[in-house]
Structure 1
């Protein structure tokens, strides 16, 4: 998992810069299907990434990952996904000057 986290982070930062969301399936494809969206492992990796985001005073990049059928975050997401998304969009626009 640890070797995939920087790749996942990079993918999600690009999503944040575009002020978009990405589905679990799209993220799985972007990660060369290292994690399949229906096995729960992708969610575990997103949990680790969220902790890293919080440690760096960033919005949770996991809030950008949504279900394809509902366009909402997964049931295990804790917190206000909309507020976290906005925090991500704002942070990365400032951080990278977009």
Structure 2
């Protein structure tokens, strides 16, 4: 895992593994639905951890359920509260010029994203799989 030196998974967690930097700025406000949401250090860590999980899923042409993502990031965000995390991850992907990794996070029962309009998800999912494909 490529990581920034000295960055830990959370405040006050000595010995935590480092996480990669985001293209977003902690303390800045970003749109989440119709509201603005501040990227806190805790949320930034959860976004960075989610990014790692989803890049790996994309490399294997997989999707991840909300529950699986929550478990894979150590329960840092519960499945029903993923909205801000996924919006922030989407902003991070956009800032990097990458496909939208949130398209890989799906509802277990429907197999699709949880947004009211899901037409964006299938093409973004395919773009993620192509972008991060392992040869």
Global fold match (TM > 0.5):
yes
Give the Cα separation in 2 of the matches to 1:76 and 1:8. Answer: 22
The answer to whether 1:63 aligns with 2:103 is yes
Q: Could you tell me which of 64, 71, 80 is aligned with 1:22?
A: 64
Report the counterpart of residue 14 of structure 2 in structure 1. Answer: none
Report the counterpart of residue 80 of structure 1 in structure 2. Answer: 120
Question: Taking structure 1 as reference, are residues 78 and 71 closer, same or farther at Cα in structure 2, changes over 3 Å only?
Answer: closer
Pairwise CA RMSD: 1.5
Runs of 4+ in 1 over 4 A off after TM superposition: 76-79
TM-score normalized by the length of structure 2: 0.64
Q: Structure 2 unaligned runs (5+)?
A: 1-42
What displacement does 1:75 show?
Answer: 2.1
TM-score normalized by the length of structure 1: 0.87
Q: Structure 1 unaligned runs (5+)?
A: none
Give the Cα separation in 2 of the matches to 1:68 and 1:7. Answer: 21
Q: Which of 1 and 2 has higher RCO (CA within 8 Å, sep 6+)?
A: 1
Question: Taking structure 1 as reference, are residues 4 and 77 closer, same or farther at Cα in structure 2, changes over 3 Å only?
Answer: farther
Q: Could you tell me which of 28, 32, 47 is aligned with 2:87?
A: 47
Higher strand share: 2
Question: Taking structure 1 as reference, are residues 29 and 92 closer, same or farther at Cα in structure 2, changes over 3 Å only?
Answer: same
| Larger-gyration structure (1/2) | 2
Higher helix share: 1
Residue correspondences, number = 93
What displacement does 1:3 show?
Answer: 1.6
